[in-house]
Chains A and B, each alone.
Chain A
Amino acid sequence: MIINHPTLGPRDSAEFTYLGDAALLRRPNPKSETALDDFYSYQYLRDNPAGEHRELWYHEQGDRSWLVVTRNTVTHDITKVEFARDVKQAMIEKAIIKRAKS
């Protein structure tokens, strides 16, 4: 496979290390009353779709960036590659706005 790195261009997937479902970006609130349940779901349960999948890859033999790769698990077609920190940053900002509104 080839992953089109946002700044380094197309790189062989052998340069990367795979972690899994990008839902891992959403670490639950440890102070919540349901923290134990939340962390169980976060750590152990997976949607595991046959189709589009957002997943974390680490450019271990490269620039050490974590990427969110949108890849189809049936065809292996990759449609999007983003820096995980950008994705997470956007999630944080969204949460802040939501909190401000409510």
Chain B
Amino acid sequence: MILVDLNKPLNFVFDGKLYQGFEGDTLASALLRAGVKVVGRSFKYHRPRGIMGAAHEETNALVEIHNDGVCEPNRRATTIKLFEGLTAKSQNHLGSVNFDMLAINDILHPFLAAGFYYKTFMWPKAFWEKLYEPIIRRAAGLGSLSHKADPDTYDKGFLHCDILVIGGGPAGLLTALNLGRAGKRVILADEDFVMGGRLLSETYEINSASSVNWAAQTVAELKTLPNVRLMPRTSIYGVYDHGVYGGLETKTDKISERGPRQILWRVYAKHAVLAAGATERPIAFANNDRPGVMLASAIRTYKNRFGIDLQNTALLTNNDNGLMTNAEHIIDTRNNQYIVDVTGRKGVRTVKLNNGETLKAKHIAVSGGWNPNVHLTCHKRGRPIWNEALACFMPDTHTLPQDLSVIGAANGAFSTYGAFIEANAVSVKLGAKAAHLPIAEDAPINITPFWHVKGRKRAWVDFQNDVTAKDIILAHQEGFSSVEHVKRYTTLGMATDQGKTSNVVGLAVLAEATEQTIPQTGTTIFRPPYTPVPIGAFAGAHTGQHFHPTRLTPSHKYASETGAVFVETGNWKRAQWFARAGEKGWRDSVDREVLMTRSSVGICDVTTLGKIDVQGRDAGKFLNKVYVNTFSTLKVGKCRYGLMLREDGIAMDDGTTARLSDTHFVLTTTTAKAGPVFRHLEYVRQCLYPNMDVHLISTTDQWAQFSVAGPNARKLLQKVVDSEFDITNEAFPYMACTEMTVCNGTRARLFRLSFSGELAFEISVPARYGDALVRELMAQGEEFDAIMYGTEALGVMRIEKGHAAGNELNGTTTAAALGLGGFVSKKKDCIGKVLSTREALTGENTLRMVGVIPVNQGDALTNGAHFISQGDAETAPNDQGYMSSVAWSPTLKSYIGLGFLKNGKAREGEVIKAVDFVRSNHVDVKVVSAHFVDPKGERLRV
């Protein structure tokens, strides 16, 4: 029964020429109907190729689809549902598909045998990259990408079901029906745009009516079941752990249609039934790649489903199933008949037989038997086993995952009746009632394997990659006898069809050459995806600006209104500096922010620092474990700086922790480590000390926090802090903290902390008041010329103070290296303490943090420079360390740097070289204390 609607013509363009097909056509069927013979060129020899199959196994007819200047290469013509306006082009040729200049390779083929490129192109040495390789690269490849951003959208979805049925042929349809009727949640996925599988391609009868009707009726009933989801045009491409299946649904190939082009589904199924059918395989004989040589099953599909009767056909078969094909000539290998050559470069003309006879024919239908589509049974590294009677690989029922069943042709039950029996059996196993068995054909396949006609000429095994039987034999001759070696040496099965038609034939040719059986020869492993999946579909919507989420600080809106330039800090966007009119570059802004903060007052949003609430009777004891210094002795109302190590003794993170009550601490982390530190604390709490009474919660997003720094910081804060709170130096000294209210009763926390080295506070309010607070602070600060400062000025001031930050806490530095060795409490254990005492971490010649300044005050320093002692050659053995942070200090009117230098502490005063080759900046620098500004810390205590 023909499934194209001849009343609905569709116009399409192929290689610039306008053609007409019909609703229900694929591009391949429409081209065949239009009489187009050559649709592509092969990979290596650029041989003219026609259409070989009728579904996803197609290896020859690859085309580019063009849409609005965007090109999609390597599409199988056999799986493109025809639509109005489709524009397709043939690919992989220089010139036109009919006159491809690279077809010269076909004439040169004796020089281009398997693996030829491994044996030459080595002399002269430079010629490989300059001459040979560029030529090879230009000739290789298949279709083209257009170098333009893919304009299509892709979506992702998650589906859950009791049973995923893969394949909508007779086995899959009946299984879905049985399970659906039993109320199971069923998903039935099929690659084709019409469900029915081979039932659509043959002239079978089921219950005395056309099998097409049975398929349609079954689909119709399935559609009425609310617990069944039918998913046509959906390829289940991979099997993953614990019942996770990957599926790709194609919604449309038309760019103009709204919505996503494809949806990537992750299907969670309690059980899956693989009913993926089987794929017919060719037979290797001389010039079997001519346009017009097709799979017998494909010829029947085009006739029965699409109504295209390919006349003048010779059938070559080794089994009874092939005999169903309409053909003028039947060549049955079981009667010792076979084909020894084919003429007709751009379309079959004559067929030469082994008995010397020459037939005239335009098409050759080939049936070399059927390969069950066992691919998905191998994705978890199961191996199929060889079935001698059916001459095919079958799923190994012993190694199949428990939650996967295989039925129908995929399990070697090639007849319709056989498929129904297996469908009923699996339905019962899965708790459903078996349907009354439909009456259907039950013809045996009766195959006698016949793989390859030996001869002098080339007989193709992998058509797309131009791997011939001779190549496989040559590979064996050269010692590549393992099937994996043959595959890699010849490229057998590595074309876009993943060897669907070539793997088993290749294996058989290899088995003949090695005089082994096929099971002895082995099989290569099938890996995902079953059919190729676009990268765009795997990416879904997480591209461009949506690649990662964006986190905005509470002052983001205010900052954008006031000239802020933002910088990516992880997923946060932080104000980097605030540009003002008249400032010529970022340095102007940053210098102003630093000088204004140091001379009056500046405000910086520090909300991004991680905040962790630590509560419980053992909170202090807990913090003693995670920090090198002691927290249990910290008084309520006080803060303390803390350094945290990994268990391997390397510094992990630092921050300040405030004690708000006996049982309540607030701990801060660096911006980058907020997540990892929280995870680490939970690990210590749950995995090491579950008996401690302590609980943790991240409050990073709950509190907006601002640093208010500079000599006028207190004066400014006094204007917003509610009057009952005394924040004078006496009442609220350096490192004090308290809960309080601001702006007439808004809950707040105040910490007297300083990263800048100035008199400074950090004030936090519930995040929703952050915007209001920063506006209030700036309004009240007008009299002091208060300014906002960004991460650059923050960085400059911390380098001036010699505080280590992310550049120094880089995962390789110890407390001692950071100059914080004195913080490590000798009285108690902490995470990392034992391993921090290893010899190479404590020895004299280890790296220590130092400050550096240029000897010539005008010289600029560059970050990432390496240190070399004066007089030493600039080579790796003389490497003394590296620069980790650099800033222009507007306070000192000089560049300053922090870095790590071997035995650095002892080298203060020494002049060394800072060499930066990649930025061509070698500077003599003097080693100094890392504390450039106010080393005694007097300013922050006023």
CB 8 Å contact bits of B281-320 with A (1 = contact, 0 = none):
0000000000000000000000000000000000000000
Q: Which residue of B lies closest to A90 (CB)?
A: B690
Give B667-707 as 1s and 0s: 1 = Cβ < 8 Å from A's Cβ atoms: 00000000100010011001110110000000000000000
B679: chain A residues within 8 A (beta carbon): 17, 58, 60
- Which residues in A have their C-beta under 8 angstroms from that of B647? 27, 39, 42-43
Identity of the chain B residue whose Cβ is nearest the Cβ of A4 in the assembled complex: B242
Give A15-26 as 1s and 0s: 1 = Cβ < 8 Å from B's Cβ atoms.
001010000110
Nearest chain B CB to A90 CB, angstrom units: 10
Most buried by B among A56, A65, A88, A89: A88
Report the nearest B residue to A3, measured CB to CB: B242
- Out of A31, A78, A84, A88, name the residue touching B242 (CB < 8 Å): A78
B438 within 8 A of A: no
Q: What is the distance, in angstroms, from A3's C-beta to the closest C-beta of chain B?
A: 9
Question: A-side binding surface: helix, strand, loop or mixed?
Answer: mixed
Q: Are B242 and A2 in contact (CB under 8 A)?
A: yes
Given A2-B242, A30-B833, CB of A25 within 8 Å of CB of B838? no
Q: Which chain B residues lie closer than 8 Å to A84 at the CB level? A: 686-687
Set A58, A75, A86, A88: member contacting B682, Cβ < 8 A: A58
Contacts of B829 in A (CB 8 A): 30-31
| A55 and B549 alpha carbons, distance in the complex (Å) | 30
List B residues 211-247 near A (Cβ within 8 Å): 240-244
> 1/0 per position for A72-96, CB-CB distance to B under 8 A?
0001101000011110110010000
- Within 8 Å by CB of B687, from A28, A40, A85, lies A85
Determine if A89 and B837 form an interchain contact, defined as CB atoms under 8 angstroms apart.
no
**B771 sits at the interface (CB 8 A):** no
Q: Are A2 and B243 in contact (CB under 8 A)?
A: yes
Q: Is B578 an interface residue (CB 8 A)?
A: no
Does B835 reach chain A (CB closer than 8 Å)?
Answer: yes
B376-390 contact mask (Cβ, 8 Å, vs A): 1 or 0? 000010000000000
Number of interface residues of B (CB under 8 A): 24
Interface residue? B268 (CB, 8 A): yes
Given the contacts A30-B834, A31-B829, A66 and B241 also touching, CB distance less than 8 Å? no
> Are A66 and B687 closer than 8 Å at their CB atoms?
yes
Most chain B CB atoms below 10 A, which of A1, A39, A58, A89: A39
Q: A35–B682 contact, CB under 8 A?
A: no
Q: Which of B268, B675, B687, B834 contacts A36 (CB 8 A)?
A: B834
Question: Within A26-73, which residues are at the interface with B (CB < 8 Å)?
Answer: 27-28, 30-31, 35-36, 39-40, 42-43, 56, 58, 60, 64-66
Interface set of A (CB-CB < 8 Å, partner B) = 1-2, 17, 19, 24-25, 27-28, 30-31, 35-36, 39-40, 42-43, 56, 58, 60, 64-66, 75-76, 78, 83-86, 88-89, 92
Listed by A's residue number, 6 A-B pairs whose Cβ atoms lie within 8 Å are A1-B240, A27-B647, A30-B833, A31-B829, A60-B679, A88-B686
Closest 6 CB pairs of A and B: A85-B690, A2-B242, A30-B829, A85-B686, A1-B241, A39-B834
Using A39-B834, A84-B686, A84-B687 as known contacts, list a sample of 17 further A-B pairs with CB atoms less than 8 Å apart, ordered by residue number in A. A2-B244, A17-B679, A24-B687, A25-B688, A27-B647, A28-B834, A30-B829, A30-B834, A36-B835, A60-B675, A66-B682, A76-B241, A78-B242, A85-B690, A88-B686, A88-B690, A89-B690
